[in-house]
Structures are given as structure tokens and as C-alpha cells.
Structure 1
């Protein structure tokens, strides 16, 4: 039996290197990423805050916390999606990001939606 969960937020990511804003000679690598959030659950939920863990290929880890995303705290009814684009600057040509969104369901329940780990990489760096 495939029972739908009450709180079920799916997150997918697409990352891109921004060559014209990067300066490799100054260890500045700029990436954009587009996030798609989809409410697969039975109940509406609002994205309250975010937590990111950003790791570069030197092993340096930076955590970022903040309210909402791109200045918004979107509400998603069951079946609805939300997409936004943001960016990150690394000191290395390769890195990873992962994290979570802190959600508030319409029934007052707080829960986390996992942001899966994804790679930030300049083209032709990884096989």
C-alpha cells in the first residue's frame, strides 16, 4: 500500500558555474543553483528558514543559516511546487552543498526537508 505521507517535501537541485563572474587567479569561483521544492505530502507547509553546509575541495566548511529563501517564505499546498535560483562563491573549483529547510505545516508541526548533497564544479573538472 502506497499511503501518502502527511509531511513530504521533495527537493531537487541543478547547479551551474558562472564563468564571467569567477576569477580563478584570485581563487573566486561563482556558482548558481536552481532549487525546486515540491510538496508531495497531504498537508500544506511553509518554508520558514534554511541551513546550508558548504564544503570546498580544501575541506573548508561554511554553514549558512537564514530566514526563508531569496527573501521569501513560500507556502506550498499539497501538489504545489516552488522554484528559485541563488548562488555561492567558493575559493576552489570544486565543492559540495547540502542542508535542510525548516518547514511549518498547516497543523503547526515543525519538520525539516532535506536538501540532498550536490556538487559545484567548473566544467571539465570532474569525470
Structure 2
């Protein structure tokens, strides 16, 4: 069913703990994430910028802002999706990420797509 919203961008996230790049003794925990961005709206849009808020279990917060994602500014027509993988490093075995994407539609309107909060956790740490 086609959405009647002109801006309806869906963000789905999958995460993984990357043990071989992590160093528990040095408080270095590496996580990978794959994000699928789907345009469910009625207008095409380009992802211009990203904004991340990364929080570890100690409450340390890092904000990251930048152009596009993985060196690209994907253009999504209605019904299209874009998938990319990236990663982050935190100092605790558990943390969280959230943020938003700044988008620009074909009518020249800027809008923000929230990235829902998702957890980063080393396996067998949280029960």
C-alpha cells in the first residue's frame, strides 16, 4: 500500500559485535551495524547529512556529524531502499546509538528522518 505521506523514510538497523577487532582488556569494543533506508513516501529524496549520538554504559556521549553515509549521498525514489554497513568503537561492552538523517526532497524541502535508538552489546553480557 502506497503511503500518502510525502516524507516517509523507514530506517531499519542490524548490529553485530566484532570480537576480532575488539580488545576487552583495553576497553575497546567494536560494533558493526547495517542500516536499510527505505523511501515509503510519495517524493524522491536525497540523504545529505548524518548525525549520530553514541552513548556507552559509563554515560560517555560522542556526537558525530558528517556528509552522507559511507562517502555517499544516496538518492531514493519512492519504493526504493539503500543499504550500507559501518561501525563504531565504544569503551564498554554495552552502549546505544541514535540520531537522524538530513534529507532533501525533489521540491527543495529539507526534512529530518530520525534514526531510532538501538543497542550495542557484546554477546552474553546482558541477560
TM range (shorter): over 0.9
Q: Distance in 2 between matches of 1:110 and 1:59?
A: 32
Matches within 5 A, 1:37-116: 37-116=37-116
Distance apart, 1:25 and its partner CA = 0.2
Q: Normalising by structure 2, what TM-score?
A: 0.97
Runs of 4+ in 1 over 4 A off after TM superposition: none
1:43 aligned counterpart, secondary structure: coil
Note the C-alpha offset of 1:3: 5.6
TM-score (norm 1): 0.97
Instruction: Provide, for residues 52-109 of structure 1, a one-character-per-residue CA deviation record: whole Å limited to 9, x for no partner.
Output: 0000000000000000000000000000000000000000000000000000000000
Structure 1 residues 3 and 18 mapped into 2: Cα distance closer, same or farther (>3 Å)?
closer
**Helix, strand or coil: the match of 1:20?**
helix
Structure 1 segments unaligned to the other structure (5+ residues)? none
Count, aligned residues? 126
Superposition deviation, residue 125 in structure 1: 1.2
Q: Please state how far the C-alpha of 1:4 moved relative to its aligned partner.
A: 1.3
SS in 1 for 2:20: helix
Q: Relative to structure 1, is the Cα distance of residues 58 and 72 closer, same or farther in structure 2, using a 3 angstrom cutoff?
A: same
